[in-house]
Amino acid sequence: MKYVIIGNSIAAAGCIEGIRSVDKAGDITVISDEPYHVYSRPLISYLICGKTDEERMKYRPGSFYKDNGVRALLGVKALKVDYKSKAVELDKGAPVSFDKLLFATGSRPFVPPMEGLESVKENFTFMKLDDAKALMAAINKESRVLIIGAGLIGLKCAEGIYGRVKSITVVDMAGRILPSILDEDGSAMMEKHIESKGVRFILKDSVAKFEGSTAKLKSGKTVGFDIVVVAVGVRPNTQLAESIGCKAGRGITIDTHSATSLKDVYAAGDCCECYDISGGVTRVLAILPNAYMQGETAGINMAGGEKTFDKAIPMNAIGFFGLHIITAGSYDGAAYVKEGGGVYKKLVAKGNLLKGYILIGDVLRAGIYTSLIREKTPLDTIDFELIKEHPQLMAFKKDVRAEKLGGVK
């Protein structure tokens, strides 16, 4: 059996391990336009600030490909997939044939049209290792950095360069920061915290045009800069998959087996969309745990095994300037809120189920809340009043506790 994986991401690593759990001998080829060993992209901000290095960013050991019998074609771009002949054409070297194919093509930065942006020499995005390396080479203690976007990517960039530049200004047309993962109160708390470090926010505004080293905003305000980082969002890389007929919405459409609409073709990670059990909608869930589980599911099924992944939810575990956040699920429902002392907690329930949560500051045992959402545990079967205050296994019935503890009674 010949397996080909386009992309060298967390989803690809999951796929490799899934295949090898079933098929120890089949040929596996990974094709990636990045020249690097599989690495954890969320760590690129820590590379800039010196908290990690390229070796420690590796998602799996350096011997990963060799140990799993993988031919890794790194720094090689997949140009075209011929579905009829089952071959992938490359920008260098001979085509690679396959019996089973996985698209793990990830996403790309979305750069909206902004007048004069093309004239800004020091203009960056912030998604890949090469982006971080380029930004590291450009900044210095006198750099005034303008970040377009107050979401996860933009604020991790701000954290990474903090202390290594003269000033950081973040502009976003939204009225609050981190709107994709936090509610208004949570956003306000994080904004105050980050501002206390010296980061300047200009919200409900956007760049009208760039002139020299000045950004003119639609409000009439101006921001001087030396370096611009565009971090307003991403778009799934669906082009190759769609070119051979795979169904796609915002991302490549997959089922609970990580299979696409085409036989023998699978997809996993940020390039695809799946069913969000917390919100009851199909959407792109561009987060690391889902990417790995989708990839592993694909690998097992590609190799002839049987596995489904039907517990996808939006989830984020992240920190900014020492203040940690964990969020999961959706926020549509009745909310329990507790805040004070540098801590914010919001639990959202609907229809006797926990649907989502936001934890800021105190994130201990967040996994218990995540498990309640994934497993769709009826809240009337646990001591929800106890678990609202302190997530702990004592809130579960004795037999459930035993199961969660691996049979320990």
pLDDT tens by residue, the chain, 409 residues: 999 999 999 999 999 999 999 999 999 999 999 999 999 999 999 999 999 999 999 999 999 999 999 999 999 999 999 999 999 999 999 999 999 999 999 999 999 999 999 999 999 999 999 999 999 999 999 999 999 999 999 999 999 999 999 999 999 999 999 999 999 999 999 999 999 999 999 999 999 999 999 999 999 999 999 999 999 999 999 999 999 999 999 999 999 999 999 999 999 999 999 999 999 999 999 999 999 999 999 999 999 999 999 999 999 999 999 999 999 999 999 999 999 999 999 999 999 999 999 999 999 989 999 989 998 999 998 888 888 888 775 556 566 555 554 544 4
**pLDDT for the residue 16:** 98
**117-230 is classed CATH 1.20.1440.130:** no
Listed as own residue / partner, the contacts of 87-92 with beta carbons closer than 8 Å and 24 or more positions apart are 88/4, 88/6, 88/31, 90/31
First to last CA, the chain: 45
**322-404 is classed CATH 3.30.390.30:** yes
Handedness of CA 93, 95, 96, 101 (dihedral sign): positive
Q: Please list the residues that pair with 244 across neighbouring strands.
A: none
**pLDDT for the residue 61:** 97
Q: How far apart (Å, rounded) are the C-alpha atoms in residues 407 and 409?
A: 6
Q: Helices 288-302 and 10-20, interaxial angle, to 10°?
A: 30
**How many CB atoms are closer than 10 A to CB 55?**
9
Domains 2-108+236-302 and 117-230 share a fold: yes
Q: How far apart (Å, rounded) are the C-alpha atoms in residues 24 and 75?
A: 26
Instruction: Look up the pTM and report it.
Output: 0.93
Which tokens belong to 27?
A: 């040929």
**pLDDT for the residue 408:** 43
- Tell me the longest C-alpha to C-alpha distance in the chain: 69
Q: How far apart (Å, rounded) are the C-alpha atoms in residues 349 and 333?
A: 5
**pLDDT for the residue 387:** 86
Domain ranges of the chain: 2-108+236-302, 117-230, 322-404
**pLDDT for the residue 15:** 98
Q: Which residue has the tokens 């990580």?
A: 258
User: Which of 58, 106, 103 is closest to 237 using CA atoms?
Assistant: 106
**pLDDT for the residue 393:** 59
Which tokens belong to 162?
A: 């903090």
Q: Which residues are CB-neighbours of 367 under 8 A, at least 6 positions away? A: none
Q: How far apart (Å, rounded) are the C-alpha atoms in residues 2 and 366?
A: 40
342: left (phi over 0), alpha (psi -120 to 50) or beta: left
CATH code of the domain occupying 2-108+236-302: 3.50.50.60
